[in-house]
Amino acid sequence: MFKHILSRVIRAVITLVLLVSFIFIAMHYAPGDPVTTMLGAGAGPEKIRAMKHKYGLDKPLAYQYVDWWQRMIRADFGISWKTGTNVSQRLFRSIKYTLVLASTAMVIATAIGILAGIVSATKRDKLFDATTRSITLVGISLPTFVLGLGLMYIFAYLVDWFPSSGATSLKSLVLPAITLSLWVAGSLTRLVRSAMLDVLNQDYITGARAKGFSERFVIYKVALKNAGVTILTVLGLQFGLLLGGSVITEVVFSWPGLGQLMVEGVKSRDTPVVQGCVLFFAGGFIVVNLLVDFIYSYIDPRIRYQ
């Protein structure tokens, strides 16, 4: 067990290092000069040289790379090239908004997805099942920004129930959270349905019914428990995807999270901001999947790591 955990942690760290290193190199070799972008096309050579020296951009790339990792270990993401503010403070201020949005969307998606998936599996090929599959297909296929703009038009402009942008109150969370959750709920419903159908066809389910257990007990205590590993896997992956997938939703609703911050950083070639955001997104996804992997054995004792 210990060897498996150590192996997974090492692979996760290597993945994170490679991903962030790729972003570091890509941002430095992207077309255009970030200093010229910050200062404007009319900036003189002296001013450009001074700005490059200030941020260490006149040093070799290898030196910048090593220096960046040394600062990362100390959780120092440097200074924003655009605003001159501390990037670490901006990241930690923004990440709470992204976590609130992703967590709320995950709760909504889990409640809808698991319940709809279970009912759909128990009513296979009936009207509810056919309707659910059609709705989930639309939910999966519909781009997030289209769904977000549609909800915004109906509930923010036509009936004026919720704010269309910003994070001024709890009501501001409703539309972006629903937009993000419906995409996940569609995928989760289909996967839960598939997992439950697999389990409901097993002999031990027939045996449980033959012993006289109620259908509710068979479905929610026996079948759902045995489908738990598959469902947990999907939940872990989906939450990791929600962290990254929140970028578009945050931009549409002007939600002040990491996604919004990263888009602003990309537009202005603000490399420290972009690298910090990518590190948080990638790190969050990897940590969630590690946690899911580690608790497998507690859900299904048949799983044994070599």
Start-to-end C-alpha separation, the chain: 7
Contacts 24+ apart (CB under 8 A), 134-143: 135/186, 136/185, 136/186, 136/187, 136/189, 136/190, 137/186, 138/186, 139/182, 139/183, 139/185, 139/186, 140/183, 140/186, 140/187, 140/190, 142/183
**d(Cα 36, Cα 22) in Å, to the nearest integer?**
23
Asked if 303 and 229 touch (Cβ cutoff 8 Å), the reply is yes
What distance in Å separates the CA atoms of residue 245 and residue 252, rounded to the nearest whole number?
A: 12
Q: At CA 127, angle to CA 123 and CA 131, rounded to 5?
A: 105
Distance CA 74, CA 226 (A): 43
Given 3.40.50.2300, 1.20.20.10, 1.10.3720.10, 3.30.565.10, which CATH number is that of 91-299?
A: 1.10.3720.10
Domain definitions of the chain by residue range: 2-73, 91-299
What angle, rounded to 10 degrees, do the helices at 271-294 and 87-122 form? 40
Contact 156, 175 (CB under 8 A): yes
Per-position DSSP letters for 9-21, written without gaps between them = HHHHHHHHHHHHH
pLDDT, tens digit only, all 306 positions of the chain: 566 667 777 887 888 788 778 877 877 776 666 666 666 666 667 777 777 777 777 777 788 888 878 877 777 777 777 777 788 888 888 888 888 888 888 888 888 888 888 888 888 878 887 888 888 877 777 777 788 888 888 888 888 888 877 777 788 888 888 888 887 888 888 888 888 888 777 777 777 777 777 777 777 777 777 777 777 777 777 777 777 667 888 888 888 888 888 888 887 777 788 888 888 887 777 787 777 777 665 665 555 554
